[in-house]
C-alpha cells in the first residue's frame, strides 16, 4: 500500500482528497500546517508527498525546496491554483516531480500518483560515509556509532553531513550559512556556535575522541578523524 503525506490547509478539499485516496487503497497522513512538512517528510517513510503551494507559515513551495536541499529523494507533487508557465517552472525548479493545477479531476491525480509511485519503488542505492568509528547514512539520514544511533535534529544532521563530506577540510561559516539555511538569514554566528557545541556534546557522549569538530578561528569548522 502506497503511503502518502498530504499537506493541504483547505479543510474541505483536504478531507475530500484524503477520503478519495483511502478509497483507492492509499495510506494517507494529512497535515494542515506548512511548518510541519519538513519534520514529517524527513522522519517518516512516505512514497509520495502531495504539497499544496499556499500553506500557512511555510509554503509548500518553500518546504519542497528545503527538502531537496536536505537531500530528500522521494517523489513530490505540487497542488496549486497557480497556472502560468512561470509558476510551473518555479515549482519544478524547487524540486517538485510533478505539478497539478486546481481544480483537477481526481482520476488525473490518481494517474499521476501511480506514475510517480512506479518511480519511487525503484530501489535507491544507499550512500554511506565511514568516519572513524561512525557511520553516516546520507540516504536514511542516520548517524551511528557501531550499533548505537546518534539522535540528531534535521539541522544538526545537515551540518554534520556537510562537515563529513569535507572531512579534513575547513568549511567556512558563510558556506555553512548558504548550504544549511539558504535565504533564512535570521541565523547568526552565535547560533552556529551553539549547534556545533550541541554536536560536539552528542559525539563525546558516545565516543572517546576518534572524531572531532575543530574550530578554525575567524574562518569556520573542520571535521577530523
pLDDT tens-digit series, residues 172-190: 988 888 777 765 556 777 7
As annotated, the residues of the chain forming the CATH 1.10.10.10 domain(s) are: 128-224
Which residues lie closer than 8 Å to 165 by C-beta, 6 or more apart? 129
> Quick one: pLDDT at residue 185?
53
Which pTM was predicted?
A: 0.56
User: Could you read off the pLDDT of 3-29 as tens digits, one per residue?
Assistant: 999 999 999 999 999 999 999 999 999
As a dihedral over the C-alpha atoms of residue 97, residue 99, residue 104, residue 108, rounded to 10 degrees, the angle is -30
User: Could you read off the pLDDT of 46-93 as tens digits, one per residue?
Assistant: 899 999 999 999 999 999 999 998 888 889 999 988 878 788 888 888
C-alpha dist (Å) from residue 53 to 4, 37, 206: 17, 12, 41
Which residues lie closer than 8 Å to 206 by C-beta, 6 or more apart? 145, 148, 150
As annotated, the residues of the chain forming the CATH 3.40.50.2300 domain(s) are: 3-120
Whether residue 50 contacts residue 25, with contact meaning beta carbons closer than 8 Å, is answered with no
Does the domain spanning 3-120 belong to CATH 3.40.50.2300? yes
Can you name the CATH fold of 128-224?
Answer: Arc Repressor Mutant, subunit A (1.10.10)
Amino acid at each position: 500500500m502506497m503511503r502518502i503525506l498530504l499537506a493541504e490547509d483547505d479543510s474541505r478539499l483536504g478531507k475530500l482528497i484524503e477520503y478519495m485516496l483511502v478509497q483507492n487503497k492509499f495510506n494517507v497522513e494529512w497535515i494542515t500546517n506548512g511548518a510541519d512538512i519538513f519534520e514529517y517528510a524527513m522522519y517518516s517513510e512516505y512514497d509520495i508527498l502531495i504539497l499544496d503551494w499556499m500553506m500557512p507559515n511555510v509554503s509548500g513551495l518553500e518546504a519542497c525546496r528545503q527538502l531537496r536541499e536536505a537531500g530528500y529523494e522521494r517523489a513530490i507533487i505540487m497542488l496549486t491554483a497557480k497556472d502560468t508557465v512561470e509558476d510551473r517552472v518555479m515549482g519544478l525548479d524547487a524540486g517538485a516531480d510533478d505539478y497539478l493545477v486546481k481544480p483537477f479531476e481526481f482520476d488525473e491525480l490518481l494517474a499521476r500518483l501511480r506514475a510517480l509511485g512506479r518511480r519511487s519503488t525503484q530501489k535507491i542505492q544507499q550512500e554511506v560515509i565511514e568516519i572513524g568509528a561512525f557511520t553516516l547514512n546520507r540516504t536514511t539520514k542516520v548517524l551511528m556509532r557501531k550499533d548505537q544511533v546518534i539522535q540528531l535534529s534535521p539541522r544538526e544532521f545537515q551540518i554534520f553531513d556537510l562537515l563529513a563530506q569535507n572531512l579534513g577540510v575547513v568549511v567556512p561559516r558563510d558556506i555553512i550559512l548558504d548550504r544549511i539555511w539558504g535565504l533564512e538569514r535570521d541565523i547568526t554566528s552565535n547560533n552556529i556556535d551553539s549547534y556545533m557545541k550541541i554536536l560536539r556534546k552528542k559525539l563525546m557522549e558516545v565516543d572517546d575522541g576518534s572524531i572531532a569538530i575543530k574550530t578554525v578561528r575567524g574562518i569556520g569548522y573542520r571535521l577530523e578523524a
